[in-house]
Chain A
Amino acid sequence: MVALQTCLQSLPELLNLQQELKRKQEQRKNYLAVCGDTGCTAWGSKHIKDVFQQCLEQKGLNHTTGLKFTGCLGLCESGPVVIVFPQGIFYQKVRESDIEEIVEKTLLQGEIIDRLLYQDPVSGEKIIYAGEIPFYRKQERVLLADNWSIDPSSIEDYLALDGYGALGRVLHSMSSAQVIKEIKDSRLRGRGGAGFPAGLKWQECNEMVSAQKYIICNADEGDPGAFMDRSLLEGNPHSVLEGLIIGGFAVGAAEGIIYIRAEYPTAVQKIRLAIGQAEALGLLGENILGSSFNFRIGVSVGAGAFVCGETSALVASVQGRVGEPRQKPPHLAERGYNNRPTVINNVETLANVPHIINRGAETYRLTGTKKSGGTKIFSLVGKVNNTGLVEVPLGMPLREIIFAIGGGIKGGKAFKAVQTGGPSGGCLPASMLDLPTDFDELSAAGSMMGSGGMIVMDEETCMVDLARYFLKFLNDESCGRCFTCREGLSRMLEMVEAITKGQSSMVEFELLKELAAVVKDSTMCGLGQTAANPVLSTIRYFEEEYRAHIEEGRCPAGVCRDLISFNINAELCNGCGACRRKCPAEAIEGESKTPHLIRTELCTKCGICLETCRYHAVNKL
């Protein structure tokens, strides 16, 4: 600990400290990793960690056994997740009452507790070691790999894994041109959505002549259904900082800004803590590691606006103005923050940078496709068995991600579609499952990579309703600057709402398609240009479903409320009254122990009765 209070003045000092910390960690091979990510915290993992702490102290094990409250361990569905190291024994859904047993049996005697093991949803077999669970085995975890061994509030854990080594190498043996060349050679493409080559972006900014330049880390992860940036910031904040500092060196910026959305308070807190730690060690500030490079990082917290993920809007927001995009060019590399050359990179892009420097571009690009190197983190969510973050080589087919890693569809239902790319992306049907997850392939199929949200949908999801959902989202979030986006989206939303109510016609349907094309072609920023994607892609692949709504007044998935009704099957109903008591509209009547009846004129179609009935007597028509 003494060493950590000193400011590192040179590269050898950093290397010494890394070695020292590594030795210390090796002495403490026994440790428990308790997942502290939002998902597991919601399952009560904070309390689990505290109880483990008490238990270890009581038994006098706290000096020999470590306890780490880590970032996302991946299988969010099974939280709270606890992994016992060095063996890597994976326990899921750990309760307070299990803790003593885990310490007594597993930690002290190496015994496995069967009931806490993960059960594979496909084969039904129980799996002991984390590395053998198909969910992990089929992934290629690079950025998330260290989450298992890093406590995000400790810079020591990061340093013990050679953290900031890439920065040391860059500052002492590379020029900015060499760094940029390395990133270009690695074929790293921006992970925020558009997929612009990161090295090229840096080069453009590097070539600008200016007394002051800026580099901004875009952590305004606004895509609903995506949370990989949050997990990186919360799980391994120093890897993002290291990438940002290297980026600053490459473009010639002395100041970096991390723009985080307000909805992620934990990430804000963790990154602020990490910046403080890096400053204390001299990894940020003047003459970093004895070089002539000065760099500092500030944090700017967003205030809740999706459009601020767009780079020019983001700059406006950082400067405290209304987050409206502006016309480009001039590009941000020319005139960005404070009208100076600015480069903006996504969190995940920056987290890749130290890995590229450490492994070399040649090795790095062995993973991925010809045009884009490396891995990509997806947030695999929706109606899939194993939900959570998955990191796979770029180009892995959708089928493998959803079925081999995700364990297939929940409840044995049929796969219907997968939505990628957030509100700007699109829905892909079962026939496209063999499509490789690559920037260009996904765009050609009418969707996009986006930031990596992957929402799986089963037969009970209505695609028209989903298009309505995205339009409503985008209509709310449109900044209103371009007429076609502001008005076009409102009209499109009206049209799609009419379809979900069975009040549309084929003529209007054609008009919807036409309007979608107009919005796409005539708006200024990325939000408007891609706003029609959810509608166009669902029409492209699921036109049948639109037609069923329009021509037959039927919602095949049973979602659109105006087109469905509920009734009770008198033969199955035993009159238990559970549905009657729960019905918020008091629309169910019937005497005890006699079949009940739903009064359709009062029914709000909330579906609570269907959820409540244990005898499957409620039908949705």
Chain B
Amino acid sequence: MALLEKQMQVDQENFTTRNGQSLVALLQEVQEQYNYLPEEVLRELACARGLSLMEMYSVATFYKSFSLQPRGRHKIVTCTGTACHVRGSEKVTEEVSRMLGVKPGGTSEDGEYSLESVNCLGACALAPLVVVDGEYHGNMTAARVAALFREQLKKMKGQSAESFDKVIEEKAIAGCSCARLLAGEKN
């Protein structure tokens, strides 16, 4: 908490000196830093900028890219644009959601994964599209989602300090169906 307060002081100085900046841009900066819009920061900023909290809240909830909840360490995005839709993105999103045990727009209980479905990522030629941590995976099908996650989870293992086994264990506790998948992979 102390760290957050200190950070906020620094932010405030930065933000208040830049009066010309629009509220959207300001919130984008906050989100970039914290990965979401923490309530305390919004309150402080509202005071500092002479805005009502309601104004802040209305902008923060109007735009889709803002989140008032902390988001997961790994971000999974499914595209639901028209081109993706006609090639079956709805089923892909459903399958991703089922695998992660997270609804679109939500984050897993352990804070590992966030799932978002967006209207178009502009890579329509690759429809349907799933993006895992900024990496694009095209021509996806519901049946291929399992293989994609298997591949991706292996990569995540490499980056993460935790051991592979521990990830599986955690997943098993969270009751996530990934556990089943990973356990199968390990055997």
Whether A and B are associated in the same complex: the answer reads: yes
| Chain A 372-410 interface 0/1 with B at a Cβ cutoff of 8 Å (1 = within) | 000000010111000110000000000000000000000
| Chain A 290-327 interface 0/1 with B at a Cβ cutoff of 8 Å (1 = within) | 00000000001111111000000000011111110000
Residues of chain A within 8 A of B62, CB atoms compared: 305, 322-323, 479
CA distance A323 to B66 in the complex (A): 14
Which stretch, B107-115, B134-142, B148-156, B168-176, touches the partner chain A? Answer: B134-142
- Total interface residues on B, CB under 8 Å, equals 47
CA distance A76 to B86 in the complex (A): 18
Residue of A nearest to B26 (CB): A320
B1 interface hit (Cβ, 8 Å): no
Which stretch, B8-16, B38-46, B122-130, B158-166, touches the partner chain A? Answer: B122-130
Residue of B23, B63, B120, B137 near A223 (CB, 8 A) is: B120
Q: A300-B25, A303-B28 are in contact. Are A41 and B83 (CB under 8 A)?
A: no
A381 touches B124 (CB 8 A): yes
Residues of chain A within 8 A of B81, CB atoms compared: 224-225
A77 interface hit (Cβ, 8 Å): yes
A382 touches B83 (CB 8 A): yes
Residue of A222, A305, A388 near B125 (CB, 8 A) is: A388
CA distance A221 to B119 in the complex (A): 11
B98 interface hit (Cβ, 8 Å): yes
Residues of chain A within 8 A of B24, CB atoms compared: 300, 302-303, 317, 320-321
Residue of A41, A423, A606 near B142 (CB, 8 A) is: A606
Residues of chain A within 8 A of B119, CB atoms compared: 222, 224, 306, 473, 477
A263 touches B120 (CB 8 A): yes
A114 interface hit (Cβ, 8 Å): no
A611 touches B65 (CB 8 A): no
A230 interface hit (Cβ, 8 Å): yes
Residue of B nearest to A78 (CB): B125
Residue of A nearest to B94 (CB): A606
A422 touches B142 (CB 8 A): no
Q: A225-B83, A317-B24, A320-B24 are in contact. Are A611 and B124 (CB under 8 A)?
A: no
CA distance A584 to B142 in the complex (A): 10
B125 touches A608 (CB 8 A): no
Residue of A nearest to B98 (CB): A584
Q: Which of A335-391 contact B (CB under 8 A)?
A: 379, 381-383, 387-388
A582 touches B146 (CB 8 A): yes
B122 touches A381 (CB 8 A): no
Q: Which of A154-190 contact B (CB under 8 A)?
A: none
Q: How large is the interface on A (under 10, 10 to 19, 20 to 34, 35 or more residues)?
A: 35 or more
Residue of A nearest to B135 (CB): A42
A321 touches B142 (CB 8 A): no
A305 touches B23 (CB 8 A): no
CA distance A421 to B169 in the complex (A): 49
B95 touches A225 (CB 8 A): no
B21, B26, B98: most-surrounded residue (chain A CB, <10 A): B98
A227 touches B142 (CB 8 A): no
| Chain A 555-572 interface 0/1 with B at a Cβ cutoff of 8 Å (1 = within) | 000000000000000000
Residues of chain B within 8 A of A457, CB atoms compared: 86
B103 interface hit (Cβ, 8 Å): no
Residues of chain B within 8 A of A504, CB atoms compared: none
A258 to B: closest C-beta gap in Å: 14
B151 to A: closest C-beta gap in Å: 13
A262 interface hit (Cβ, 8 Å): yes
CA distance A457 to B25 in the complex (A): 39
Residue of B63, B84, B91, B125 near A304 (CB, 8 A) is: B63
A453 interface hit (Cβ, 8 Å): yes
B82 touches A77 (CB 8 A): no
Residues of chain B within 8 A of A379, CB atoms compared: 124-125
Binding site for A on B (CB under 8 A): 21-28, 58-59, 62-66, 80-88, 91, 94-95, 98, 118-127, 129, 135-138, 141-143, 146
Binding site for B on A (CB under 8 A): 38-39, 41-43, 76-77, 221-227, 230, 262-264, 300-306, 317-323, 379, 381-383, 387-388, 419, 422-423, 453, 455, 457, 461, 466, 469-470, 473, 477, 479, 582, 584, 606-608, 611-612
Nearest 6 interchain pairs by C-beta: A320-B22, A76-B125, A42-B136, A304-B64, A224-B81, A303-B63
